[in-house]
Amino acid sequence: MKTQISRMQAVQSPIIPVIGELIRNNPGTISLGQGIVYYAPPPQAIAQISQFLADPTNNQYKAVEGIPPLLAAIKTKLQAFNGIEINHQNCIVVTAGSNMAFMNAILAITSLGDEIILQTPYYFNHEMAITMAGCRAVLVSTDENYQPRLDAIAQAITSKTKAVVTISPNNPTGVVYPKETLQQVNDLCRQHGIYHISDEAYEYFTYDDTKHISPGSFSGSNSHTISLYSLSKAYGFASWRIGYMVIPEHLLVSVRKVQDTILICPPVISQYAALGALQVGMDYCLTHISAIANIRQLVLKSISRLENLCTTARANGAFYFLLKVNTKMDALELATRLISEHRVAVIPGTTFGMDNGCYLRVAYGALQKETAAEGIERLVRGLQTIL
């Protein structure tokens, strides 16, 4: 049998399982690694499961794009919080998380060999999805504050470019893009006849009076803007796998094909739970985000002690800081030593495309205050000792 190179060999291996194995091999490690929240879904979401069970037809396949009550709840939320009106020019598709929404979008808008522009540092699953689809991720570096550089994005656009991706609030940096920047990116996409894919999984996670902006709310953006959302973070829904996307109406047939092939329909029991969560609304999220904001202040105070060893940009969103470490040490080697020698886990920046130095992503959303304080103290002591 002739050996052939699979397209999957070009796809980077996920780093989270690698770090997870290191954590398991070093009991007592505190993880500042995976991007999850410490809290569970609201009770009203769990209560909806009885409504799911009450109707035997819920055990059958449902509509590819989502059940009507959930679509209606999402429509209301989009209008109230995001300023996005659902009309004849756009539509909602419920997905199994926003990662699937991104894959839906890439498969719907590209052909083999097409290009998608990512800002570096990028979210690694985005780069992986683009590669899996047989396309090329064109990497454009951000500025010293991890903000997009419009001139660099414009220069990267070619005849093969199909979309520019933005993530705000950002993973892995925690920065939030201002309205002016997002408007400029969106206008640039419109001018070039390409899509603006806006990942907004952390839309509620903003601090210090910073406001989240949805490009899908801009006038004239409906025909070229793809907006991605998730319940995983805001409502503690990580394993329930529910997200949704707002797409131009002309993409619906293609997205339906993708989703029907991969999934048939989003898990209906999870859609019922999502309906309960959205009926409670963002007040549930904001109570917990307030607690995360307190932990953020604790982390900021602690990493200020690393002034001569690390630098980080102003991060007013999500629950991440990206540390640039003043060392020539490989980021994975440093992350491994932090686990084995100091029992604290972070994610190396190389998995986010940061190869021009040593970077570490610190996630602080998954821990209660006391554990977070101990974890960040171990990180500070560890870096001071190793470096």
Condensed to tens digits (0 to 9), the pLDDT of residues 64-97 reads: 999 999 999 999 999 999 999 999 999 999 999 9
pLDDT band at 3; cut points 50, 70, 90 = low
Q: Which residues contact 165 (CB under 8 A, 6 or more apart)?
A: 116, 117, 118, 119, 122, 126, 197, 198, 199
Residue 353 has pLDDT above 90, yes or no: yes
Measure CA 214 to chain center. 14
Rounded average pLDDT over 92-121 = 97
* Residues 127-134, mean pLDDT to the nearest whole number: 96
Same domain for 16 and 149?
Answer: no
219 and 132 in a common domain: yes
Q: What is the CATH number of the domain that holds 53?
A: 3.40.640.10
Predicted confidence (pLDDT) at residue 156 exceeds the cutoff of 60? yes
Structurally, how many domains does the chain consist of? 2
For residue 34, name the pLDDT band (cuts at 50, 70, 90): confident
Domain ends where: 235, 258, 280? 280
Query: What average pLDDT score do residues 129-142 get?
Result: 97
- At residue 8, the pLDDT reads 86
Residues 81 and 133 occupy one common structural domain: yes
Look at residues 280, 299, 333 and tell me which one is the last residue of a structural domain. Answer: 280
Per-residue tokens: 137 = 């991720």
Q: Are residues 344 and 321 in the same domain?
A: yes
245: nearest Cα among 221, 224, 270, 228: 228
Least confident of 25-29, 31-35, 119-123, 374-378: 31-35
Q: Are residues 276 and 287 in the same domain?
A: no
253 and 332 part of one domain:
no
In this structure, what token pair is assigned to residue 259? 């989703």
Strands 90-95 and 243-248: antiparallel
* Domain with 293 in it: 7-36+283-386
Q: What is the DSSP string of 226-248?
A: EEEEESTTTTS-GGG--EEEEEE
Structure token pair of residue 168: 């705000």
Within this chain, do residues 271 and 289 fall inside the same structural domain, yes or no?
A: no
Per-residue model confidence as pLDDT tens digits over 177-199: 999 999 999 999 999 999 999 99
Query: DSSP letters along 204-229, please?
Result: T-B-TT-----GGGSTT-TTTEEEEE
Q: Is 1 inside a domain boundary?
A: no
Q: Across the chain, what does the average pLDDT equal?
A: 95
Token pair listed for 2: 């002739």
pLDDT in tens, 285-320: 999 999 999 999 999 999 999 988 999 998 999 999
- Same-domain status, 272 and 287: no
- Give me the pLDDT at residue 4, please: 57
Say if residue 175 is in the same domain as residue 211.
yes
The Cα–Cα gap between 190 and 71 comes to 27
